[in-house]
Amino acid sequence: MTITELMPFSVLVPLIASLVCALLPGRFWPWAVTLVATITSAVIAAITLPAAAQVTLSYAFGNWPPPIGIEYRVDAANAFVALLVAGMAAVALPWAKKSVDREVPERQGAFYALFLLALSGLLGITLSGDAFNIFVFLEISSLATYGLIAHGSDRRALLASFRYLIMGTVGATFLLIGIGFLYVMTGTLNLADLAERLPEVRDTSTVRAALAFIIVGMGLKLAMLPLHLWLPNAYTYAPSFVTVFLAGTATKVALYVMLRFVFTVFAPDWSFVVLPLSTVLMILAVAGMFAGSWVAMFQPNIKRMLAYSSVAQVGYMVLGVSLVSIVGLTAAFLHLFNHALMKTALFMAVGTVIYQVGSGHLKDFRGLGRTMPWTLTAFALAGLSIIGVPLTAGFVSKWYLIQAALDQGQWFLVVLILITSLMAIVYIWRVIEAAWFQERPGNQPAAGEAPLALLIPTWVLVALNFYFGIDTRLTVGGATAAAEALLGGGMAP
């Protein structure tokens, strides 16, 4: 079995496992199956990446050659994202057991089945080389995600899920419209073929409209300001585990899709010319960075605060994209990866607190530094990463982002990045201060340290934040390869 043949299994394994899972009763087995499936998937993704960095892998389902059959086509960019998605899922799952037991006590089989569906959907989007297939997987993952969010114990979770459903569907529809336009114009759905045939027809308004629809559609899924409005509630009211998983994966995949279309299907020298994309994205990115950080500074609910922080962090990624350079894209991919690390760690820490205390409100964090030192220290350290302190992963991606901005002579962007970093200090600081420098009110339940099952995965991620802040070979190498794959003249055959 070659790597090329192995590669599709990272999508198929979770897909098949979800069917099994849906039928399994109890609390242990669904989780165990999910864990095994996810780890398998992650291992496959990990094996794929080095190979994909060398040459583009292509696998045609059912041996139908590409234009007719469905092709999986993997280069450095999607291998990188796939590894991220599968990897984050694999790290999150050991953490999930306790948390899910607490927050979703019943019908866990269905819950984990949804999770696996979402995972395989995300991986499918990533690996697929076929536009329509991307839409299909998008719908799979989205629908599963709506279900997952709806599992939140808070009644508002239902409403949040419903809103996300509406907006998600709008986004997916836009994508579908865009793809439809392209199909009408070129007669193919295969991304490589699209890239090949589009130059002939790209001066038509239909193609331009297709690009616009795809960008707005993916912008919605990506939660790019001002299309982010679904995100805070969805993250806030979803079960902690779902938030942890989504924060690290869903928006990243949406970004990937957007990049895939903008950079490889339409060539960047076209898409950034025909639409004022660079300007629009830059404005929206900066606005997102600011608005997200700004609002985060005032949020009393920590999950919600982190959700807004995500909006800001998405801004950083989009900013990198808007610079249209190898360094900029590298920064975007780096941040895509690093942000997943840090935000997952943060959500895990908050989830752990919720597990122990039952609430994610700032006021319930008071005095926790003494009683839950490991959890809160993990939060603080991951917070350092999101601030962008040197030796953390966050620093590396910000460094590249600033480099990219400077390469373009955009001084003011550097200033803006630093200002938003300072804002990050503020919102992280609020938690630290509450945890260590305020007394625990007498009427609050005394909380002890969390179980190791929650702590270990959290700390693994925290450690990864520092590891990738010091040893940047994998991340910078992967991100650079991904950026080059996207910018390096379309899909190489």
Partner 1 sequence: MSTLPQLNLFTVVLIPFIGAALIALAGTHRALREGLSWSSSIVFFLAVMGLLVAFLDGDSASQTVWEIMPGLAIAFRLEPLGMLFAAMSSTLWVLATPYAIGYMNAKGYSNLGRFFACYAIALGAAAGIAFADNLFTLFVFYEILSVSTYPLVAHTGDNKAKQGARTYLALLLATSIGLMLPAMIWVWTATGTLDFADGGILAGQVSPAAGAVLLVLFMYGTGKAALMPFHRWLPAAMVAPTPVSALLHAVAVVKAGVFVVLKIAIYVFGLDYLRELATSDVMLYIAAFTMLAASLVAIRQDNLKARLAYSTVSQLSYIVVGAMLAVQLSAIGGGMHMLMHGFGKITLFFCAGAIYVASGKTKVSEFDGLGRRMPVTFFAFFIGALCVIGLPPTGGIWSKWHLVAGAFDAGHTAIMLAFMLSTLLNIGYLLPPVARAFLRPLPEGERSGFNEAPWMCVIPLALTALGTLVLFAMAQSAFDLLGGMFGPVA
Partner 2 sequence: MITSDWIHPSLVLIAGTLVVPLLKGRAMQTWMVLLPLAVLGVLWLAQPGEYGQMAFLGMELVTGRVDDLSMVFGWVFSTVLLIGAIYALHVNDQVQHVAAFLYGASALGVVFAGDLITLYVFWELMVITSVWLIWRRGSEVSFNAGFRYLVIHAVGGVVLLAGIIMFQFETGTTRFDQIDADGPAFWLILAAFMINAAVPPLHAWLTDAYPEATVTGAVFMSALTTKTAVYTLIRGYPGTEMLVWLGAFMTLYGVTFAMLSNDIRRLLSYHIVSQVGYMVAGVGLGTALALSGSASHAFTHILYKALLFMGAGAVIHMTGRSKLSELGGLYRYMPWTFVLYLVGGVSISAFPLFSGYVSKTMIVEAAAVDGRALIWLMLAVASAGTFLSTTLKLPYKTWLGEDSGLRPQEAPWNMLLAMSIAAALCFLIGIFPGLLYALLPEPVDFDAYTMSVFLKEMQLLLFTGLAFCLLLKYVGGGPKISLDVDWLYRRGGPRLISATGTAIVTADRAVRRVALGQLMRLTSHMERKHGRDGKLAKSWPIGSMALWTAIVLAMLLTFGVWR
19 forms part of the interface with partner 1 (CB under 8 A): no
**Binding flag, residue 433, partner 2 (CB under 8 A):** no
DSSP category for residue 301: B
State how far the Cα of 218 lies from the Cα of 214, in Å rounded to an integer: 6
Choice from 23, 36, 68, 391 touching partner 1 (CB under 8 A): 391
Closest CA to 243 of 347, 391, 154: 347
Q: Which of 148, 137, 344 is nearest to 257 (CA)?
A: 137
Task: Based on the shown chain and the rule CB under 8 A, indicate whether residue 36 belongs to the binding site for partner 1.
Answer: no
Q: Spell out the alpha helix ranges (H) of 7-75.
A: 9-23, 28-54
Q: Based on CB atoms, which residue is closest to partner 1, 153 or 408?
A: 408
**Nearest distance in Å: CB 362, partner 1:** 16
**Residue 47's binding partner, choosing from partner 2, partner 1, none, with beta-carbon cut-off 5 to 8 A by kind?**
none
Query: Could you say which of partner 2, partner 1, none residue 211 binds, taking C-beta under 5 to 8 angstroms by partner kind?
Result: partner 2
How far is the C-alpha of 386 from the C-alpha of 222, rounded, in Å? Answer: 19
Report, in Å, the least distance between residue 295 CB and partner 2: 5
Q: Which of 28, 64, 298, 437 contacts partner 2 by CB under 8 A?
A: 298
Residues 104 and 211: their CA atoms lie apart, in Å, by: 40
Return the structure tokens found at 154: 């808070």
Q: Residue 301, interface with partner 2 (CB under 8 A)?
A: yes
- Contact status, residue 377 vs residue 349, Cβ threshold 8 Å: no
Q: Map residues 166-205 to x or -, x wherever contact with partner 2 holds by CB under 8 A.
A: xx--x---x------------------------------x
CB of 381 to partner 1, least distance (A): 11
Which of 10, 309, 421, 458 contacts partner 1 by CB under 8 A?
Answer: 421
Of 172, 178, 328, 151, which Cα lies nearest the Cα of 250?
Answer: 172
Residue list 215-254, contact with partner 2 (CB under 8 A): 215-216, 219-220, 226-227, 229-230, 232-233
How many binding residues for partner 2 (CB under 8 A)?
A: 36
Give Cα 295 distance to the centre of its chain. Answer: 21
**3-class DSSP assignment, residue 75:** coil
At 77, list the tokens: 């960019």
Count of residues touching partner 1 (by CB under 8 A): 24
Q: Rounded to an integer, what distance in angstroms lies between the CA atom of residue 384 and that of residue 390?
A: 9
Name the residue with tokens 């950026």.
483
Q: Which is nearer to partner 2, 298 or 411 (CB)?
A: 298
Neighbour tally for 275: CB within 10 Å: 17
Find the length of the chain: 493
HEC string of 337-396 equals: HHHHHHHHHHHHHHHHHHHHHCCCEHHHHCCHHHHCHHHHHHHHHHHHHHHCCCCCHHHH
Nearer to partner 1, 201 or 406 (CB): 406
State which residue, 131 or 413, has the beta carbon closest to partner 1: 413
Binding flags for partner 1, 266-295, as an x/- string (CB under 8 A): ------------------------------
CA nearest to 493, candidates 128, 75, 70, 27: 75
Quick one: which of 36, 422, 456, 492 contacts partner 1 (CB under 8 A)? 422
Going by C-alpha positions, the residue among 187, 181, 175, 188 that lies closest to residue 204 is 181
With CB under 5 to 8 Å by kind, the binding choice for 163 among partner 2, partner 1, none is partner 2
Note whether 51 and 76 are within 8 A (CB): no
Assess 415 for contact with partner 1 (CB under 8 A): yes
Instruction: CB nearer to partner 2: give 105 or 276.
Output: 276
Q: Which two tokens stand for residue 227?
A: 């299309």
Q: Does 338 bind partner 1 (CB under 8 A)?
A: no
CA distances (Å), origin 417, targets 38, 149, 316, 446: 35, 32, 8, 39
Show the site string, 305-344: x = touches partner 2 by CB under 8 A, - = not: ---x------------------------------------
Give the residue, chosen from 199, 276, 300, 390, that forms a contact with partner 1 under the rule CB under 8 A. 390
The CA distance from 93 to 315, in Å, is 28
* Dihedral, CA of residue 75, residue 76, residue 81 and residue 87, to nearest 10: 110
Residues 168 and 142 sit within 8 Å (Cβ to Cβ):
yes
Q: Whose Cβ is closer to partner 1: residue 5's or residue 471's?
A: 471
Q: Is 304 in the site for partner 2 (CB under 8 A)?
A: yes
Instruction: Tell me which stretch binds partner 1 (CB under 8 A): 25-33, 355-363, 471-479, 485-493.
Output: 471-479
Max CA separation in the chain (angstroms): 72
Kindly tell me which residue out of 42, 91, 172, 396 binds partner 1, with binding defined by CB under 8 A: 396
**Residue 300 lies near partner 2 (rule: CB under 8 A):** yes
Q: Which does residue 166 bind out of partner 2, partner 1, none, counting CB within 5 to 8 angstroms by kind?
A: partner 2
Q: Which residues, in sequence order, are bridge partners of residue 288?
A: none
Please choose which of partner 2, partner 1, none residue 390 contacts, taking the beta carbon within 5 to 8 angstroms, the exact cut-off set by kind. partner 1
Provide the binding-site residues for partner 2, judged by CB under 8 A: 160, 163, 166-167, 170, 174, 205, 208-209, 211-213, 215-216, 219-220, 226-227, 229-230, 232-233, 274-276, 280, 291, 294-295, 297-301, 304, 308
Provide the binding-site residues for partner 1, judged by CB under 8 A: 387, 389-391, 396, 399, 402-403, 406-407, 414-415, 418-419, 421-422, 425, 433, 437, 469-472, 476
